Structure 1
Amino acid sequence: MSNVEAESAVMRCGAPVDDVRPAGAPRVDVLSARDVPLGGPRSMTVRRTLPQRDRTLIGAWCFADHYGPDQVADRGGMALPPHPHTGLQTVTWLFGGEVEHRDTLGTHAVVRPGEINLMTGGYGIAHSEVSTPRTTVVHGVQLWVALPEEHRNADRDFQHHAPRPVRTQGAEIRVFLGSLAGEVSPVRTFTPLLGAEIVLEPGMTITLSVDAEFEHGVLVDSGDVRVADTLLHRAELGYVPPGADALTLTNESDGPARAILLGGTPFEEEIVMWWNFIGRTHEDIAKAREDWETSSERFGTIESFPGGRLPAPALPNATIRPRRNPPRC
């Protein structure tokens, strides 16, 4: 899960000359995914939409991997040995299969579809993620949240929550972070955030009231989903800038469509992000890598994991620069 992209390119602001959005409809920028292999020849391949050249963050959401459905018999499932994190929270949300989670807090949990596992790395944590023996298909999203400077060295923490489904006309919603559709998640975050799974029946439209101070992202897992006036296909992420107090989603497919809705207040701090670490300077990253490679107490130990841990890659032969979002349009 390394991230060593070049610094964001300059992008033009303002609507294109052929923009014919209806009055009042929010702008939706379409971000396409790139395939990233995790491991060897039979490794999982994830579709990564954050970070990328045109957008680093949506609120404090700084990383979004979408994977599956993959047959374990063909691809080998998820098998990530102990690896470290700093300066962030990880969010695991599954659509299918099960993942066994162990961390250096002593947590041993099984992640199941429709349940959020949120782990706070802060100053340093390590965890492993392995498909359970009974899992035949792996399918879900892995998301990261950047911690603000005030809390980026927070204590390790782990939270689990199974949100109840909210059923409205033609849709089912599970709110795993923040608030939406009258539901409030009890999971604690360090900045205002929204995270929800939305399943739409064929041909159905839903309009959701949202916080106009948030920017939002709609990541499509299955089907074709129209957000306002923009059609999104599978694995595409639609970005909506702050200012919209409602989002309209329409399933343009013959079958059910599923999407993840993310949101948050714009994260104004610059971050340095490399491999599994988030800091503010190159030196922060280099120190975290050194601490991991020397088995520092900073990350702790997972005593019960049967096998070795994941070594850190070599640092690039250049200073790792802060990531920036493009200028607001």
Structure 2
Amino acid sequence: MSPIRSVQVAEPAGPFRVVERELPEPGHGQVRVTVEACGVCRTDAAFINAAFPVPFPLVPGHEIAGRIDAVGTGVEGWTPGQRVAIGWFGGNCGVCSACRGGGLIHCQRLQVPGWAYPGGYSEAVVVPATALARVPEALTAAEAAPMGCAGVATFNALRRSHARPGDLVAVLGLGGLGHLGVQFAAKLGFETVAIARGTDKTDAATGLGAHHYIDSTTADVAEQLQNLGGAAAVLATAGNSAAMGATIDGLRPGGELLVVGADPEPIQVSPFQIISTSRVVRGHPSGTARDVEETLHFAALTGVRPVIETRPLDEVEAAYHRMLSGEARYRMVLTTGS
């Protein structure tokens, strides 16, 4: 069998190297996917720098889109040639208390691609069949890939909030997550507010569907949200706990701060801000394979798309550093030419 090319990191914070390895064979309950595109996510940097207990050598990548190439034993409902995506949810154990209770995304042994097994910075991957989401024909592989993490995280948080069509909903941050959050919020029927730093993002925010824009460097965010009637929900996509805390007083009674952006610093909130108002601070993980599939379906129906820059697999170093520096607008995606 012909070897495949994969991007490997041999040690924590080590350089990327394109290596050849044997084409992996799917085992029981697994499928092999020919990778056509893989998103470059900020969490990849945490893996590469060993912020998570990942094994080395490491093949990163958990925003994968491609086609099924081979099917292992015991797999039903999936056939070679089908277009699929695999996201942060890369399989679950099915026997822990979370899985038995239906909370698959909280599985105690959740299998994340690039952590539990070699990820999508590669020409092919072997994944559990439970990780697969169908990709609609309306989306290219490069558009579908970021939906397995950034897309499903923002869509799930919004659709599972208490906000209803017509309610005021704000999206904090206008980056890789936020630009999708604004689109989803508008398409879900919310009166959408984008919150970011600087006046130069106004046109981008309105182009993505925002009805209002707040420059957090010149305005009191909470005051501005209350002037608009108070937010039913704030989707916090920016990795800045201080900025998240600054939105809480902008919530209406019963409003929710939905946290999907990661920052190790605590969010500052006083009991006085939430007791009398019944406000809620709620964390949201990404979503299961079924959630990814529903995210892709909704995007296909409504025209939501990630704004992407693509680079071939050989240019992983450049793609990774564009993602880290924030120069990319808004998602970097590696392509294999498959």
Q: TM-score, normalised by structure 1?
A: 0.29
Higher relative contact order structure (alpha carbons within 8 Å, sequence separation ≥ 6)? 1
More strand by share: 1
More helix by share: 2
